[in-house]
Amino acid sequence: MANHQKDFLFVLIKSLSKSEKRQFKIFASRLETSSNTKFIELFNILDKSEAYDEKLILKSGIIKKVQLSNLKSYLYKQILVSIRLNIPSQNIRSQLREQIDFATILYNKALYRQSLKILDKTKIQALEHDEKNIAYEIVEFEKLIESQYITRSIQGRADELVVQAKELNYQNTISSKLSNLSLQLYGIMLKTGYVKNDEEYKYIDNYFKKHISKLNEAKFGFREKYWFYNANLWRSFLVQDFLGCYKYANKWVTLFYDNKNMIYLNPVFFLKGNHYLLESLFMLKYKSKFKNYLELLEETINDPHFPVNDNVASLSFLYLYNNKLNFHILEGTFAESEYLIPVILDKIKLHSEHLDEHHEMLFYYKFASIYFGVEKYEESIYYLEKIINNKNLSMREDLMCFSRILCLIAHYELGKDYYLETQLKNTYKFLIKMNDLHEVQKEIIRFLKNLNSIYPSDIKKEFIKMRARFIELEKNTYEKRAFLYLDIISWLESKIENRKISDIIKEKAKLINR
């Protein structure tokens, strides 16, 4: 599991690839003198160490304790400089920044025409790649040169630059407003969760309309469209409009596929859009579309031209394998998905420094769901207890809640009455503390609490009665999301019909022909 309290320098060194380490040593050898070899020695010690150990560094004798902090800071900076000098040519932003630096050097040498020539060429390239913030920065630089020196470069140049500056400033302002709105909606999601009633729905709807009422979508470029779809997506998630989620996530992903160069320039945005698209299709149970988009995503990630770095690799793993599990859960093919669990566990170790605990716990919940689906209740409980017993975790309460409820049902299936009683008490205490306890959760607890007091001959009747109750709750807009965490209706049907839950879900999946 990722330990985010590790020493920053040590984590940075451990994140370096073999080629990056080799590049750093070549770079460092150029700096090497009798007075600064210590930072190279420190690099070698940390590179060979399995864990950060300050005592080991001091024992080596290369540095005194009072000097260690400064040496670490110096080494950290030099590693970043080395990486920056070796950024792959596909990184267009770095290329643009480099050209601006060259233009600045020429400007400081009073070589104004040469500086303007580089700036104009770089500005065209920035606009081609929708890097409008950089383009605006270049225009401001061009205005500075033109206003201070008589270059006589182009007649009417001043008017041209003023118009460009106004247009770019307007577009950047729109992007900023939409990105702010998207972030604010995400903040509301974290603070209060999904809307729970009509009053909360109206508040979010009015808040959203107020912020986009004066915007003209017809004038949007790529970046403005991206943030517009992003904001609409979060609004749809908040009000649990899953069809709206699909609509805007689809627009988001289509925008990238229609502008393929943007996939390689903004791989993180592309990956996130695909994740939200697949999540909305999972919520809507659009099985065929889910499979098609999942295959397309995997194909794109495996394309040799797709960018490769630690962040992109971790997100690719997270979104691809999370949705592979979702597809099996959607189809009820639990047994067929078991092979994925050890594969994912290995990959979690590989990407441990870049995954937060919340996403690891989401994987564990899906593992538990799969094991529950194949009636391996002990294994299911093992992963659920990893979530329940994680005291250091700050996560959404709904995941914690359904982990406890699924754990209760697994104990019931095992016939462990003593453990079931203990689990009921602990779960009930937890639910009382929850701020957003929904009717579905309350009904499940009431139902399980009363099971032990029901005569064996009456249990089936109770299952039938509760199934009818949950079918009604599933129709409620503000309750239906709970059934995506836990398919309580299919479980009840498996008890009523004395069949495997996986068979029930498979049959339902076949009937949903979409």
Please give, one letter per residue, the 3-state secondary structure of 235-285.
Answer: HHHHCCCHHHHHHHHHHHHHHHHHCHHHHHHCHHHHHHHHHHHHHHHHHHC
Torsion of CA 150, 155, 161, 167, to 10 degrees: 170
User: Stretch 442-464: mean pLDDT, rounded?
Assistant: 78
Angle at alpha carbon of residue 329, lines to 429 and 436, rounded to 5°: 30
Reduce the secondary structure of 81-110 to three states and give it as a string.
HHHHHCCCCCCHHHHHHHHHHHHHHHHHCC
> What is the separation, in whole angstroms, between the first and last Cα of the chain?
38
Q: How far is the CA of 131 from the CAs of 64, 125, 164, 245, in angstroms? A: 47, 9, 14, 27
Residue 483 backbone class (left: φ over 0; alpha: ψ -120 to 50; beta: rest): alpha
Q: In the structure, what pLDDT confidence band is assigned to residue 65 with cuts at 50, 70 and 90?
A: confident
Distance CA 431, CA 388 (A): 13
Write down the H helix ranges in 285-376.
Answer: 287-301, 310-331, 334-337, 340-350, 357-373
**Lowest mean pLDDT across 40-44, 287-291, 314-318, 440-444:** 440-444
Distance CA 379, CA 330 (A): 20
**Lowest mean pLDDT across 110-114, 245-249, 444-448:** 444-448
Question: Quick count: other Cβ atoms within 10 Å of Cβ 361?
Answer: 22
Half-sphere exposure of 300 (CA within 13 A, CB side): 23
How confident is the model over 163-175, as pLDDT tens digits? 999 999 999 999 9
Distance CA 418, CA 421 (A): 5
Q: For residue 2, is pLDDT > 60?
A: no
More confident residue, 32 or 198: 198
Q: For residue 442, is pLDDT > 90?
A: no
**Lowest mean pLDDT across 94-103, 142-151, 237-246, 376-385:** 142-151
Distance CA 170, CA 189 (A): 29
- With a pLDDT cut of 70, the percent of the chain lying above it is 92
User: Stretch 53-65: mean pLDDT, rounded?
Assistant: 86
Quote the crossing angle between the two packed helices 501-511 and 488-497, to the nearest 10°.
120
Tokens 């001959």 sit at which residue?
A: 457
User: Stretch 276-286: mean pLDDT, rounded?
Assistant: 93
Q: Are 280 and 242 in contact (CB under 8 A)?
A: yes
- Residue 29 has a pLDDT of 80
More confident residue, 269 or 416: 269
More confident residue, 450 or 183: 183
Q: Whole-model pTM? A: 0.82
More confident residue, 398 or 500: 500
**Lowest mean pLDDT across 37-46, 340-349, 454-463:** 454-463
Write down the H helix ranges in 32-91.
Answer: 38-48, 54-59, 65-85
451: tokens are 């099971």
* Identity of the amino acid at 348: I
**Lowest mean pLDDT across 49-58, 264-273, 465-474, 480-489:** 480-489
How confident is the model over 318-348, as pLDDT tens digits? 999 999 999 999 999 999 999 999 999 999 9
Q: At residue 227, what are phi and psi to the nearest 5 degrees?
A: -70, -30
- Residue 155 has a pLDDT of 58
Q: In the structure, what pLDDT confidence band is assigned to residue 3 with cuts at 50, 70 and 90?
A: very low
Tokens 């603070």 sit at which residue?
A: 191
283: tokens are 């919520």
- Residue 4 has a pLDDT of 43
How confident is the model over 404-418, as pLDDT tens digits? 888 888 888 887 666
96: tokens are 């643009």
Tokens 């999601």 sit at which residue?
A: 189
Q: Are 229 and 269 in contact (CB under 8 A)?
A: no
User: Stretch 225-238: mean pLDDT, rounded?
Assistant: 94
More confident residue, 376 or 390: 376
- Residue 226 has a pLDDT of 95
Mean pLDDT of the chain: 86
Q: For residue 244, is pLDDT > 60?
A: yes
- Residue 32 has a pLDDT of 60
Q: Are 406 and 369 in contact (CB under 8 A)?
A: yes
Burial readout 107-129 (b: 16 or more C-beta within 10 A, e: otherwise)? beeeebeebbebbeebbebbbeb
User: Stretch 137-146: mean pLDDT, rounded?
Assistant: 91
Q: For residue 61, is pLDDT > 80?
A: yes
Q: In the structure, what pLDDT confidence band is assigned to residue 1 with cuts at 50, 70 and 90?
A: very low
Q: Where are the domains of the chain?
A: 8-85, 92-175, 365-514
Question: Quick count: other Cβ atoms within 10 Å of Cβ 261?
Answer: 13
More confident residue, 457 or 370: 370
Write down the H helix ranges in 374-435.
Answer: 377-388, 397-414, 417-433
